[in-house]
Amino acid sequence: MAYSGWLPDPYILVLTGFGILIALVAWLPLALKRLPLSLPIVCVGLGAALFSLPQIALQPLPLRYPEITERFTEFVVIIALMGAGLKLDRVFNWRRWMVTWRLLAIAMPLSIAAITGLVGWGMGLPWAVALLVAASLAPTDPVLAADVQVGPPKSGEEDEVRFGLTSEAGFNDGLAFPFVHLAIALATVALAGEPWFAKWFSYRVLWEIGAGVVGGWLVGRAFGWLTFHVPAENKLVRTGDGLIGLAATLVSYGLTEIIHSYGFLAVFITALTFRHTHREHEFQSRMHEVTEQIERLAMMVLLLLFGGALVSGLLAPVSWTEAGIAVAILLVIRPVAGLVSLIGFTASGSEKFTLAFFGIRGLGSIYYLAYGLNHMEVAKAEQLWGLIGLVVLLSVLLHGLTVTPAMRSLDRLQGRNPDGEEATPPPGLQGPASRK
């Protein structure tokens, strides 16, 4: 142990702080189970308090660390996508997944169009930049949306609302990417007068989506066979190590990105395929638990940094115009687009409203904006970061404070006991300690 005067070694401080963080990862979901608070709210608050200390000079602003911002959020999102796919009990079927297709094919394009128009008109931005912002803010986040997602594999916590929001969050991250690339093409190639539409549609839409789906399916099948169906003495399931789920995540993302397809989409397809190879095996729950623990830890670190960015000036460029746009995105555009997409869908009014309202914006939005800004020149990028940061903060607060009463009320209306041990998932990601 090394000291400099009375000050402890910074390395020792980091170890101590990391240990406290891990303890909070395990304990907070249980402590918050019945409170109208979410784990993300607590994490952002802790980060803001921590980075407000005069001893901490670091300002974790995304503009200062663009590559780190992109890569860290990318990692958290792909882990969340694997966790979301592994916990879906419903067998893939076009009719039974109709709520998913409606949210993807109707609600998301409507949201992108509306946000593009609002941002372009309200902030006076070029249409390509407005489209980048819209593509970043349209997808439901697979990380922070864990509050309204289904429970662990085979837990029975998979009503239509939780299933719809989980499957939407799994698919729409990959499907938002063509619009991000469209914004980049409009800002670069199109301005130079070069032909761009045919290349964008054939490569960014047809190839990257198609190859992502096929590549994810192949990796899922391969891991499913190696885990459950090879000769008994060589099955990966015999290891009992849930890190196999993390391995499948990284292999799927890496291989599909190597062939230039959408890795986010591939990871979710891999998870669904992996789960389908042996749906009832207990090892599925083990893989999900390990994946979820890694996701929670990475998410908490990232949200601490987000809280630090807030007190370091992330929202300084935000005017009343951006504030109004942020409120409109969360309270008007997503709910209206969601309700329009569910016209004619067989569900109660409360279910439709919950599906439409809880379009949570979070770490995926940060990733998409970081990716876009790292691939195109944008003037006044701090203004875009301010808007994205405000939308994410408002979403964390608005959805985090309302999710527990909303889901408990929905459970009561559907005849489920919200006070039961397994009725409503606690706010934030659940840990093994919160389950029997």
pLDDT given at position 434: 40
**Burial of 1 by CB count in 10 Å (0-12 exposed, 13-18 middle, 19+ buried)?**
exposed
Residue 356 confidence (pLDDT) above 50: yes
Helices (H) and strands (E) in the chain, counts: 17, 2
pLDDT number for residue 73:
95
Q: How buried is residue 194: exposed, middle or buried, by Cβ count under 10 Å (0-12/13-18/19+)?
A: exposed
The domain made up of 59-390 has a fold known as: Na+/H+ antiporter like fold (1.20.1530)
- Mean residue pLDDT across the chain: 86
State the DSSP code for 150. -
How far is residue 152's CA from residue 146's CA, in Å, rounded to a whole number?
11
Q: Tell me, what's the pLDDT at 79? A: 94
Q: What is the pLDDT of residue 411?
A: 78
pLDDT level of residue 431 (50, 70, 90 thresholds): very low
The pLDDT assigned to 34 comes to: 67
pLDDT tens column, 284-295:
888 888 898 899
Q: Which of 13-27, 56-70, 107-121, 269-283 has the lowest mean pLDDT?
A: 13-27
Spatial distance between the Cα atoms of 116 and 113, rounded to a whole number of angstroms: 5
Model confidence over 248-257: pLDDT tens digits?
Answer: 999 999 999 9
Q: Phi and psi (nearest 5°) for 183? A: -60, -40
Give the residue among 171, 168, 172, 203 at the shortest CA–CA distance from 189: 203
27-39 pLDDT per residue, tens:
777 776 666 677 8
| Residue 177 pLDDT | 92
Question: In angstroms, how far is CA 9 from the centroid of its own chain?
Answer: 36
- Residue 7, pLDDT above cutoff 70: no
Compute the average pLDDT of residues 79-94. 89
Instruction: Please write the tens of the pLDDT for every residue from 310-348.
Output: 999 999 999 999 999 999 999 999 999 999 999 989 888
Range among 225-234, 342-351, 384-393 rated most confident: 384-393
pLDDT the model gives residue 118: 96
Decide which of 95 and 434 is more confident: 95
Categorize the per-residue pLDDT at 380 as very low, low, confident or very high, splitting at 50, 70 and 90.
confident
pLDDT in tens, 410-425: 878 776 665 544 444 4
pLDDT of residue 48: 92
d(CA 205, CA 300): 33
The angle that helices 283-309 and 243-258 make with each other, rounded to 10 degrees, is 70
The more confidently predicted of residues 117 and 90 is 117
**Which is higher by pLDDT, 345 or 6?**
345
pLDDT band at 428 (very low <50, low <70, confident <90, very high): very low
Q: What is the pLDDT of residue 230?
A: 80
Percent of the chain with pLDDT over 90: 48
Lowest mean pLDDT among 22-36, 249-263, 382-396: 22-36
Between 193 and 327, the higher pLDDT residue? 327
How many alpha carbons lie under 13 Å from residue 347 in its C-beta half-sphere? 24
Beta bridge partners of 7: 4
d(CA 128, CA 108): 18
| Of the candidates 95, 431, 108, the residue with the CA atom closest to the CA atom of residue 292 | 431
Q: What pLDDT was estimated at residue 436? A: 36
Residue 153 has pLDDT above 90, yes or no: no
Tokens at residue 386, please? 């301010």
Cβ-count burial 287-304 (b if 16+ within 10 Å, e if not): bbbbbbbbbbbbbbbbbb
Give the start-to-end residue ranges of the domains of the chain. Answer: 59-390
